[in-house]
Amino acid sequence: MATDEDESDPKRLCADESMNLADDLPNGEQSQENYACQDCLRRLDVSRTRTLQLASKEYLEKSICIMSSDTFAPPESFKDFGQFQQNYRILQEQMQATEGELNSVPICHDENCELNAAKRANEANVNQPNTSKNKINFIPSPKRKTAWKNIKADKTQTPQIELSNPFSLLNEINETAEQGTQQIANKTMPPINLKYSDEYEKMLESVQLTCGNTTNKLSNGFIKIFTENIDQYNRVQSHLKQQGYDYYLVRPRENRPIKAVIKILSLHHDPERVKNLFNYSWFLCYQSNQINPI
């Protein structure tokens, strides 16, 4: 039989009842400790999708490269080669859409959001230790008495070693590189080769009146017209074309094709496979030829 003291004791909650207390919280609300705004959650989800797309892209690129570089079997003989190419093109379009969606997510300004990048940066600056690399709010310690150390150092004084940094000129080179880029580009502008004729004085005079002063040199039956900048280069070319003068252009060195020779290949190797392999590797291949040994 229960006594009066037992009846006055508070009731004890069992484990199930204590766990059911969490169900009484309103749905759709996050606790203040784990709060994140909708923009940050969306950015996190899109970033996760982009990471998975990058992994898929790397897998498809390696698979296509392996199939295309097989010496004993053409890439069309693999049953998944066409499907991999189609998936690769679709994945590129999806990655562009994902990148655009990620850039369209607005910046978070919610101070209570745990994923707020600006808030985390401020907290990191406040919590940084006072080290030699971080001199913000750094309070130096008072100097100690080092008179006896100075006296001892004078007796055993060693000659100073001169230090020099051979890479110190790189900073000056980088600063002047941007200033001289335009001048170098103008000096290396390829000339316009105008065919020499008896009326060359009239032709050069019309070019000067229309396009400004140019530097002209005669070489191998052609007059080389050197311009000062790209705008004058285009004007001279357009003027010569309108007047019907005979001329030809030399492509810049950076736009000229490069000849690549691949040795130790089978005599039955298809040159088109080499061309396709270069195209899959983001190199534009104009022509692929097979040279038989003499």
Tokens 């000229």 belong to which residue? 256
User: What's residue 159's pLDDT?
Assistant: 66
- What stretches in the chain show pLDDT beneath 50? 1-2, 5, 8, 15, 18, 21-31, 186
Judge if 262 and 273 occupy the same domain.
yes
Q: Residue 267 gets which letter from DSSP?
A: T
Phi, psi of 152, rounded to the nearest 5 degrees:
-70, -35
Judge if 275 and 231 occupy the same domain.
no
* Residue 217 within a domain: yes
284-289: long-range pairs with CB below 8 Å, 24+: 286/257
Rounded distance between C-alpha atoms, residue 134 and residue 131, angstroms? 5
* Residue 277 within a domain: yes
Judge if 70 and 111 occupy the same domain.
yes
User: What's residue 167's pLDDT?
Assistant: 66
Judge if 214 and 281 occupy the same domain.
no
Q: Domain tally for the chain? A: 3
Listed residues 123, 140, 163: the one ending a domain: 123
User: What's residue 87's pLDDT?
Assistant: 92
* Residue 197 within a domain: yes
Residues comprising the chain, all counted: 294
* Residue 51 within a domain: yes
User: What's residue 272's pLDDT?
Assistant: 83
Q: Per DSSP, what are the bridge partners of residue 124?
A: none
Residues spanned by the domain of 286: 257-293
Rounded distance between C-alpha atoms, residue 110 and residue 114, angstroms? 9
**pTM for this one?**
0.33
Listed residues 102, 123, 144: the one ending a domain: 123
Judge if 49 and 108 occupy the same domain.
yes
Query: Which pair of structure tokens corresponds to residue 177?
Result: 């590189």
Listed residues 123, 147, 182: the one ending a domain: 123
Rounded distance between C-alpha atoms, residue 124 and residue 87, angstroms? 42
* Residue 62 within a domain: yes
User: What's residue 137's pLDDT?
Assistant: 54
* Residue 59 within a domain: yes
User: What's residue 187's pLDDT?
Assistant: 54
Query: Which pair of structure tokens corresponds to residue 293?
Result: 């040994």
* Residue 268 within a domain: yes
CA-angle at 37, arms to 32 and 39, nearest 5°: 170
User: What's residue 56's pLDDT?
Assistant: 92
User: What's residue 277's pLDDT?
Assistant: 80
* Residue 13 within a domain: no
Q: Residue 52 gets which letter from DSSP?
A: H
User: What's residue 95's pLDDT?
Assistant: 92
